[in-house]
Structure 1
Amino acid sequence: MRLRIRKTYWPRHALILTDTPRPDCPDCDGEGGHNYDYGDWATGEYAGTDWEPCPCWNEDRYWVLLPLPCLPRRTPAGGYSDEPPF
């Protein structure tokens, strides 16, 4: 298991310790999975891209190290500001 520290925004702001894909994995070459395109079954046209994770890595395995505060955004009274940057 190779661990790294990341910042996450969902389900809340936090610093997490997460697993990374094996860099020497013969299936994914360290990418963690594969993208593949799929089409509409009726027309055969491109319909999107899907992600298939590799078994060498579990993207749902993480541990919260430090919850971070979620600071509210400051919005002027009218909703817009003419102060730089625009």
Structure 2
Amino acid sequence: MLRLRLKVLGCPRRVLALTDTPRPDCPNCQGTGGTEEPYAYPDTGEYWGSGWEFCPCWTAWTRPLLPLPRLPRWLRRTPPGYSNEPPF
């Protein structure tokens, strides 16, 4: 059963998309949608990376619905520049 929700994606351009959510009471993943599996080198045991295995209670798909308009240039916020100089 699908549990649909709206999500804002921002790949090349912001878009409103319809996605599925994991089942919150799933005994396998406890609502996270999958399990993380850490990998190690076989001979030394050092950390190699991790992989993600999706739980069957969740289908990881998104369907774009509607492109969102861009903000005008004068409304876009730029991060303030920080300086240790006095303001005079």
* Residue 22 (structure 2) pairs with residue 27 (structure 1): no
Stretches (4+) displaced over 4 A: none
- Mapped to 1, the partners of 2:47 and 2:22 lie a distance apart of 29
Shift of 1:2: 0.8
Distance 2:39 2:6 in 1: 33
1:52 aligns with 53
Task: State the identity as a percent.
Answer: 55
| TM-score w.r.t. length of structure 2 | 0.69
Report the RMSD for the aligned CA atoms in angstroms: 2.2
1:33-76 deviation line (CA, Å, top 9, x unaligned): 011211123422011121111011011x22212113567x8xxx
Unmatched tracts of structure 2, length 5 or more: 74-78, 82-88
Gaps of 5+ in 1: 74-83
In 2, the alpha carbon distance for the partners of 1:25 and 1:85 equals 44
Q: Match of 1:7?
A: 8
Asked if 1:85 corresponds to 2:76, the answer is no
Higher Cα Rg: structure 1 or 2?
2
Report how many aligned residue pairs link the two structures: 74
